[in-house]
Amino acid sequence: MLKADMHCHVKGDPHDNIPYTAEQLIDHAAQYNYTILAITCHDKVIFSDELKGYAASRNIVLIPGAEKTLQGKHVLLYNLTQHELDETKNFDDLRQLKRKNQNLLVIAPHPFFVIGSCLGHLLEKNIDVFDAIEYGHYHTYGFNLNKKAVRIAQKYNKPLVGLSDCHRLSTPLPPLLFIRITCWIIVALSGYILKMLIGHRFSHKL
């Protein structure tokens, strides 16, 4: 099983005040034996050959990504450039980008959390553009805003993926969450491109 987190913020995020750098995040992930990592700052791709090499030196495949604001809502995008990110203004633009960029991966982050930037009803309205749905890290046994996301994933046969939305490094990233709820296998190809091999089934009560 690959240990991965594909929703992490670092210093330089235009919207959030993050105290640690990309290198510090990579070091932290390496400490807990992560093998795949994506930095997903708001509306900004933080990725370079130097950063990719830094991660590789710690046995981590670094994926280029960002948490894009589309029509006021957050969407996780992977395997794209800053130019492609800037040119994507709405969901129709995203559909066009998916046709042009066959490596683009789209995930719905914490879609039903009680934050104005969460997708809410726009998830189902645009379900065709999403490859997977995030099962958010922030939940307890008595309080879980992921339940509707699970129902939508089941309804449309979309994979669920557990991600941390990491904003601090005081604790390990949550590998047990990822392993418990993951419904898909990801394979690193060609340096940093991800290929999804979907063979999911909802065998857990989440």
The SS3 of residue 69 is strand
**38-75 pLDDT, tens digit each:** 999 999 999 999 999 999 999 999 999 999 999 899 99
User: CA 8 to CA 66: how far, in whole Å?
Assistant: 9
| First-last CA distance in the chain | 20
CA gyration radius, the chain: 16
Q: Would you state the structure tokens that stand for residue 115, as one six-digit string?
A: 């934050």
Superfamily for domain range 4-198? Metal-dependent hydrolases (3.20.20.140)
pLDDT over threshold 60, residue 87: yes
Query: Is the pLDDT confidence value at 113 over 90?
Result: no
CB of 139 within 8 A of CB of 145?
A: yes
Closest by CA position to 58, among listed 94, 90, 27, 88: 27
pTM, to two decimals:
0.81
Check residue 74 and give left, alpha or beta (phi > 0: left; psi -120 to 50: alpha).
Answer: beta
pLDDT for 12 equals 94
- Dump pLDDT digits (tens) for 177-201: 443 333 333 433 333 344 443 333 3
pLDDT computed for residue 146 by the predictor? 73
Mean pLDDT within 148-168: 83
pLDDT range class, residue 166, cuts 50, 70, 90: confident
Question: What is the DSSP code (8-state) at residue 112?
Answer: T
Return d(Cα 48, Cα 140) in angstroms, integer: 36
Q: What mean pLDDT comes out for the span 2-17?
A: 89
- Can you tell me the distance from the alpha carbon of 23 to that of 34, in angstroms, rounded to the nearest whole number? 14
In contact, 163 and 6? CB cutoff 8 Å: yes
Q: What is the dihedral of CA 46, 115, 174, 53, to 10 degrees?
A: 0
- Of 164, 202, 195, the closest CA to residue 181 belongs to 202
